[in-house]
Structure 1
Amino acid sequence: MDDQGRFPSHPVSSPPRFKGVVTRSLHLTLRDGVQLALDVNLPRNLPDGERIPAVLISSRYWRSLDLRLSPPDRVPMGPREPLGDALVARGYAVVVVDVRGSGASFGTWTHPWSDVEVADLGEVARWVADQPWCTGHLGAVGISYEGTTAELLAAAAPERVRAVMPQQIEFDVYTDVVMPGGILNAEFMRQWDATNRLLDAGRVPSAWGLGARLMVRGVRPVDGDANRSQVRAALEAHRDNVDVWAAVRSMTYRDDAFGAQPVTTDDFSQFRRKEAIEASGAVVSGWGSWFDGRTADAVIHRFLNFSNPQVGVIGAWSHNMKTHGSPFAKPRSRPNPSMDGQWAECSAFFDQTLKPGAPAPQKLLHYFTVAEEAWKSTPVWPPEGLSTERWHFAADHQLAREAPAGEGADTYEVDFAATTGTHNRWHTPDGMTPVVYADRAREDRRLLTYTSAPLDVDVELTGHAVLTLHVASSMEDGAFFVYLEEVDPKGKVTYLTEGQLRALHRRLSGSAPPYVTPVPYHSFRREDAWPLVPGEVATLTFGLLPISVLIRRGNRLRVALAGADADSFARVPAEGRPSWRVLRDAEHPSCIDLPVKRRG
């Protein structure tokens, strides 16, 4: 295990060989006549007859921009960081595609990652592999939507795709992004749909900033479309794209249809593509963050469920990977590894997997421990050497190792103004918002909290905590949020992680889960719905999102309970104000189980 602060990197990537890029933009006609727009970026001065591997990026958010002033000799991949330039310089072709129903591509986008979209990716991959400048060896990379399409490319063209690098993606669309804990992730879903609608109409989103609105005409047209007539025709076809916000607002259960579409979110989740991705044999380098939605969970779930040769990386950064997300680091500071370091890792990964002679990587998961600010590596998850400690809710809002012996309960009236802010893990997936968790001491006054005595040794917490809550509510439903926090000797409260569960979904399912998961399994299916009975005690047991953090001697642990996260999640229930009675007696010992390693 590497316990150093530096990133446990792959072998050093190949040095840059080329300067400059030659870009060709074209439409590729598919099996059904729909045309996809793509940019082919090759190294300038590539020797005649030399063949190079290709890396594909398949985008929902405009593959490239039509700029009023274009920088010379650059891969036109905005609005993205210049990863493409780093790859082209090292001898890779970079092909960037507008998926069906987006950008300058024709067709209609019926829902994310549809079977039709996956088949399209396969056609693009085979076309690229057959070009005279290509070795036939393909990889794919991307963040967010593009990360998901990168991994799906392995299923779409298994005979051609050797390696994929999905970054900051969801493994299970229902739990990871649409309905975490069965609660609508309302603000992000609304904003995501609104941004897509602007892009689909050919308009620059205001969230991209004034500079973008001044400099960008729209999506880059293909060569020969100087008057943008083909772009206009493609945008006209996008009018029929699915209304995502309407679709998710109509959902409550995992098995609900995605709006008017004859599919559920399971049908376009990565776990449903498991067999096809595994059959490809492609090497996977999956990246996520402890503080970006549930992307760390996606890395862990792939690591536990997919047999592909793979390397997992879980760091502490925002969704776009441009800024540090650790609450123990300076806000908006440089991530670890830096952007240059990330691009070098990407190049090294493709050097290892797309070029001849390199051995297959060892299956490892690299993870970053915040507060210690150190990288570590493990061949298994959870890592070895951890044990489970149970901490009980106790009198006087204490968190104690001792189990309760007598009677005890606390009351709480839900405060629907409670929030984790607008720079949290649920907002950063917009691709622009940095993760910044400020001191939560004031916000905790709105919540029901339980705080430990100062720790007598340093304690590392790595993995998934599990909450067991015995509660009687005044209403039939509610949203239950739990935050794990650190309190320092001066009273500063630092966010570590969280979990949430809608009470309607509290039943622990007896059916087999669709994939291996480290936390108690809730199906979120209609058949398992279980409304609360007002005034009766109910038990909610659910996992928190994973974290790795070092809690220093002298600091305290805190568990904080809320019934709302006003700036992120939908209100449950829609009307009324529940009051809770949280039990902490011998018969109903509310508690949290923590995966820890004591260092003294």
Structure 2
Amino acid sequence: MSDDQKVFVPSQPLKPGARYGVLSGFDPGTRTLPAGFQLAPPFRSLPVEVVLEKDVAVTLRDGVTIYVDVLRPAGTQKVPVIVAWSPYGKGQGSSPSVMGIFKLVGIDNGVVSGLEKFEGPDPAYWCAQGYAICNPDIRGVGDSDGDSVIWDRQEGRDCYDLIEWLAAQEWCNGKVAMSGTSYLAVSQWFTAAEQPPHLAAINPWEGVSDVYRDLVLRGGMPDTGFARQLQDNSYWGKGRKEDILAEAERSPLMSDLWENKIPRFERITVPAYVVASYSNTLHTAGTFRAWRRMASKEKWLRVHNSQEWPDYYDEANREELRRFFDRYLKGEDNGWEQTPRVQYSVLDLEGGDQVRVAADAFPPKDVTPTKYYLDGRSRALTTTAPTDEATAVYDVSSNPDEVSFITRFDKETVLVGYPKAHLWVEARGSDDMDLFVLVQKLDAYGTPLQQFTVPNQGALVQDLTERGASILRYKGSDGRLRVSLRHLDETLSTEAVPAHSFDRIEKLSPGEVVEVEIDLLPVGLAFHPGEQLRLVISGRSLLGTMMPAIREYTPANSGQHVIHTGGKHASYLQLPVQARRQGMAAQEGFAVELVSGPTAAGGVDDFELVFARRALALLKARIGRQGLMDLLAKDIEEGNAFLRERAKASAGKFTSGTTVLAVRGLKAAQFVHWLENSFSDENILLAGEPEHFVIAPNPDSTVTIVENLGPHVCRVVLPGFETAPSWASEVRNELLPESDHPFRRLGAMHLPDGTVVGRVLTQFGDTAEGFTANLTCYFPAACPEDILEQHRQHLAVEFRNWIVAAARALAPVAG
């Protein structure tokens, strides 16, 4: 059985050093932390009084004692509790190692209190919202008894016992949840599968769900660099710890040992709010796998466009999580069930990412798996299979040690879902192949496009991610397979996602051509006309290590790899292509079509838009400027307070997004001259965008604006546009050559009290047919992503309407 296959080595006690935090010492007892308490200078203060019960003993079913810290709101009201289960010390949140990680990725340590477990929920926030936090030292860790294990069903049983113990405490309302990223997400799969009666909800925020396939033997290859880092640097304790490296060497095929490290997804029935990304080369496959296979009827998925740590501690994301927990742990009727079951992102890799795109499923229902066939002669990817056979060959010890195939998109194309490579391959000079595949986005000129996933994009992170640390910089969707382990598991495989059994070895014979399927990480990727997709096939890891400072895997390759294409060996890349969306989404199989009647050009949506604009203009005119200000006074107060707080939290840092419009039939100088002359006409300015409530030119040449910034109604002052303000050097990365874009204007938006809450950079330059408008907005870096995205949309609507108005005004009069 699996316990007999386990290997253990001695643990070492946690001593003062890199992983030792302010509260790491063993010190049982109860104390009260007053409102305003600050654990150490870098961290945020507690907004409310918190009771800390430290090193409380909890006895598990087999007699083992573990120790937990409980932080809960002071008072007599019973509260729900959130568990952060991991081997990371319960006092490690304030350790130098965790503070260093935050600094590396660009998170201010001031966003947390230091009382949180690494990657876990922060008591400073949750206690203020009426929740307790439980930070355990799990079996074999810290001062807890027993031997520790790595991602195992044993952890599920242990956490079951802790949950039932917590639910029985006099301060608890009987409802328990789990939350956290990485290890703290993985433990939730195992715990929920044990079905503890008082577990009310889970929130796995990116985590592996199959130790064999995700951690130690991805694709059947013993790539154990991160497993070594995890084993050597996480399980500090008095007993023994599991030696997963020795286990991987002893048991390279699927066995009971590894089956015991796969959660029983069919038993996960608790409400779940799952968070994933496309870019986490450790966690992405596992998170989507668990999402697909878990049995919960009430489950939600959000796919973000960054990295798990900044995403987890983002204020807007935390507020959404609170609504989920409020619904299932407090019983609040807050409309949570109306939240889209899936919110996915579409990466643009050029500053135009879409986030929180709503859907009922992942992939969305309008996605069609589409085969792009490899052509070994032209090195192209085509939607029709080549009739002639051809090969593409590389020598694993030469440069280049890869082959690639490219397709160019002639229209807007969006991929959302699961890619896979279906290849016919041959090994020359070897009886096996370690194959690596990568799908990249290229711009129209063939340059690979990449995107950092963390706020820090400085020199050190540039260096770390040049050939590794792939969780910090997204370079595309990758997959891998040792060809001798190509046998598919028919039970687990689907048409979209192949899954291998990894239970048998099938070596290659000389001259033998075999068929393999390789799953790639899911994607959400947009391609604009002219942009290209490249499939790379190689005998080495194309992304390098997944984490900084870990050992890179050396493939077991020799000789030549041959990729067969066309004819009876029609290799292909299957891509999840989304149908082009026209106007509003319609229910599948349902449509309403205008057959006859109106004689004006356009469709029903066009007519509705005209009427809506007319109605809005009439209402704004009747209510008047002051009437609108009075009507929206409370909204403005709340919106300005939100922006003021976000600006303070951002400490002068801004994030940006750009919208580009291409114009035909009008030159840049004509439009800019028209716009400058129109800034004194309030009606023209208001007509630019429906959410312009007030745009009032002031006698001092400033402009007062009341409009939506994301979902918030705000009142800001625009002092006017300049060509070279004092802060121009801060936006130099977005500045285009002045020779091509001579009409450049910069403006800063501030609240009535002077707080700068936004900036605008507009750049206009002529083209052969007209001109381009490059419109960049800047908001405080701590603002939620949806504010930036919605303002990119706002700029598109606003300037499109003004450009149309300019064209009409400048058109020659007939007759």
With normalisation by structure 1, the TM-score equals 0.74
Q: SS of the residue aligned with 1:264?
A: helix
Offset of 1:189 from its aligned partner? 1.7
In the alignment, is residue 500 of structure 1 matched against residue 530 of structure 2? Answer: no
The counterpart of 1:469, out of the listed 419, 423, 426, is 423
**Cα distance in 2 between the residues matched to 1:66 and 1:83:** 9
Task: Map 1:79-94 to 2 at 5 A.
Answer: 79-80=118-119, 83-94=122-133
Q: Are the equivalent residues in 1 in contact too, given 2:215–2:224 (CA < 8 A)?
A: no
**Partner residue in 2 for 1:10:** none
**Cα distance in 1 between the residues matched to 2:94 and 2:292:** 43
In the alignment, is residue 102 of structure 1 matched against residue 82 of structure 2? Answer: no
**Partner residue in 1 for 2:634:** none
Name the CA shift for 1:468/1:79 in 2 (closer, same or farther; >3 Å).
closer
Task: Map 1:452-531 to 2 at 5 A.
Answer: 452=407, 454-474=408-428, 475-494=430-449, 495-509=475-489, 511-513=490-492, 518-526=496-504, 529-531=505-507
**Cα distance in 1 between the residues matched to 2:481 and 2:216:** 13
Offset of 1:381 from its aligned partner? 3.1
Offset of 1:68 from its aligned partner? 9.2
**Cα distance in 2 between the residues matched to 1:585 and 1:159:** 56
Larger radius of gyration: 2
Greater share of helix residues, 1 or 2?
2
In the alignment, is residue 411 of structure 1 matched against residue 411 of structure 2? Answer: no
**Partner residue in 1 for 2:359:** 378
Name the CA shift for 1:52/1:506 in 2 (closer, same or farther; >3 Å).
same
Residue identity in the other structure for 1:94: I
Residue identity in the other structure for 2:260: D
Offset of 1:503 from its aligned partner? 0.4
The counterpart of 1:236, out of the listed 214, 235, 238, is 238
Q: Are the equivalent residues in 2 in contact too, given 1:21–1:74 (CA < 8 A)?
A: no
Name the CA shift for 1:124/1:520 in 2 (closer, same or farther; >3 Å).
closer
**Cα distance in 2 between the residues matched to 1:43 and 1:105:** 25
Name the CA shift for 1:180/1:249 in 2 (closer, same or farther; >3 Å).
same
Name the CA shift for 1:147/1:66 in 2 (closer, same or farther; >3 Å).
closer
Q: Are the equivalent residues in 2 in contact too, given 1:88–1:94 (CA < 8 A)?
A: yes
**Partner residue in 2 for 1:24:** 53
Provide the alpha-carbon RMSD of the alignment: 2.9
Give ranges in structure 1 of 5+ residues lacking alignment: 1-15, 201-234, 256-262, 323-334, 418-444
**Cα distance in 1 between the residues matched to 2:423 and 2:146:** 49
**Partner residue in 1 for 2:68:** 38
**Partner residue in 1 for 2:316:** 341
Task: Map 1:383-394 to 2 at 5 A.
Answer: 383-394=364-375
**Partner residue in 2 for 1:171:** 209
Task: Map 1:440-455 to 2 at 5 A.
Answer: 445-452=400-407, 454-455=408-409
Q: SS of the residue aligned with 2:570?
A: coil
**Partner residue in 2 for 1:64:** 91
**Cα distance in 2 between the residues matched to 1:413 and 1:164:** 48
Task: Map 1:282-321 to 2 at 5 A.
Answer: 282-293=270-281, 295-308=283-296, 309-318=298-307, 320-321=308-309
Name the CA shift for 1:345/1:175 in 2 (closer, same or farther; >3 Å).
same
The counterpart of 1:139, out of the listed 177, 193, 200, is 177
In the alignment, is residue 352 of structure 1 matched against residue 310 of structure 2? Answer: no
**Cα distance in 1 between the residues matched to 2:244 and 2:562:** 37
The counterpart of 2:519, out of the listed 540, 543, 557, is 543
Name the CA shift for 1:416/1:246 in 2 (closer, same or farther; >3 Å).
farther
**Cα distance in 1 between the residues matched to 2:326 and 2:444:** 48
Residue identity in the other structure for 1:477: D
**Cα distance in 1 between the residues matched to 2:95 and 2:572:** 59
**Cα distance in 1 between the residues matched to 2:494 and 2:368:** 20
Q: Are the equivalent residues in 2 in contact too, given 1:57–1:150 (CA < 8 A)?
A: no
Q: Are the equivalent residues in 1 in contact too, given 2:441–2:476 (CA < 8 A)?
A: yes
**Partner residue in 2 for 1:225:** none
The counterpart of 2:382, out of the listed 387, 400, 407, is 400
Q: Are the equivalent residues in 1 in contact too, given 2:214–2:282 (CA < 8 A)?
A: yes
Residue identity in the other structure for 1:51: K
Q: SS of the residue aligned with 2:476?
A: strand
Q: Are the equivalent residues in 1 in contact too, given 2:120–2:179 (CA < 8 A)?
A: no
**Partner residue in 2 for 1:219:** none
**Partner residue in 2 for 1:268:** 261
In the alignment, is residue 564 of structure 1 matched against residue 540 of structure 2? Answer: yes
Offset of 1:284 from its aligned partner? 0.8
Q: Where does structure 1 differ by over 6 angstroms across 4 or more consecutive aligned residues?
A: 66-73
Residue identity in the other structure for 1:317: S
Offset of 1:129 from its aligned partner? 1.1
Q: Are the equivalent residues in 2 in contact too, given 1:20–1:74 (CA < 8 A)?
A: no
Q: Are the equivalent residues in 2 in contact too, given 1:20–1:43 (CA < 8 A)?
A: yes
Offset of 1:408 from its aligned partner? 1.6
Q: SS of the residue aligned with 1:123?
A: helix
Name the CA shift for 1:252/1:33 in 2 (closer, same or farther; >3 Å).
closer
**Cα distance in 1 between the residues matched to 2:180 and 2:442:** 37
**Partner residue in 2 for 1:555:** 531
Offset of 1:19 from its aligned partner? 1.3
**Cα distance in 1 between the residues matched to 2:579 and 2:195:** 47
Q: Are the equivalent residues in 2 in contact too, given 1:504–1:531 (CA < 8 A)?
A: yes
Offset of 1:57 from its aligned partner? 1.2
Offset of 1:447 from its aligned partner? 2.1
Task: Map 1:139-218 to 2 at 5 A.
Answer: 139-156=177-194, 158-196=196-234, 199-200=235-236
Name the CA shift for 1:99/1:580 in 2 (closer, same or farther; >3 Å).
same
Q: Are the equivalent residues in 2 in contact too, given 1:22–1:42 (CA < 8 A)?
A: yes
Offset of 1:80 from its aligned partner? 4.2
Moved more, 296-305 or 535-544: 296-305
C-alpha distance after superposition, 1:299-356 (max 9, x if no partner): 43334332311111222332x422xxxxxxxxxxxx5x86222222221211111112
Offset of 1:416 from its aligned partner? 8.4
Identity %, equivalent residues: 23
Q: Are the equivalent residues in 2 in contact too, given 1:301–1:516 (CA < 8 A)?
A: no
Q: SS of the residue aligned with 2:410?
A: coil
Q: Are the equivalent residues in 1 in contact too, given 2:208–2:284 (CA < 8 A)?
A: no
The counterpart of 1:55, out of the listed 72, 78, 82, is 82
**Partner residue in 1 for 2:626:** none
Name the CA shift for 1:486/1:30 in 2 (closer, same or farther; >3 Å).
closer
Offset of 1:58 from its aligned partner? 1.4
Name the CA shift for 1:531/1:30 in 2 (closer, same or farther; >3 Å).
same
The counterpart of 1:130, out of the listed 138, 155, 168, is 168
Offset of 1:43 from its aligned partner? 1.5
Q: Are the equivalent residues in 2 in contact too, given 1:470–1:538 (CA < 8 A)?
A: yes
Q: SS of the residue aligned with 2:53?
A: strand
Q: Are the equivalent residues in 2 in contact too, given 1:38–1:95 (CA < 8 A)?
A: yes
**Cα distance in 1 between the residues matched to 2:284 and 2:53:** 36
Name which structure has the greater RCO, CA cutoff 8 Å, separation 6+. Answer: 1
Q: Are the equivalent residues in 2 in contact too, given 1:385–1:597 (CA < 8 A)?
A: yes
Q: Are the equivalent residues in 2 in contact too, given 1:18–1:91 (CA < 8 A)?
A: no
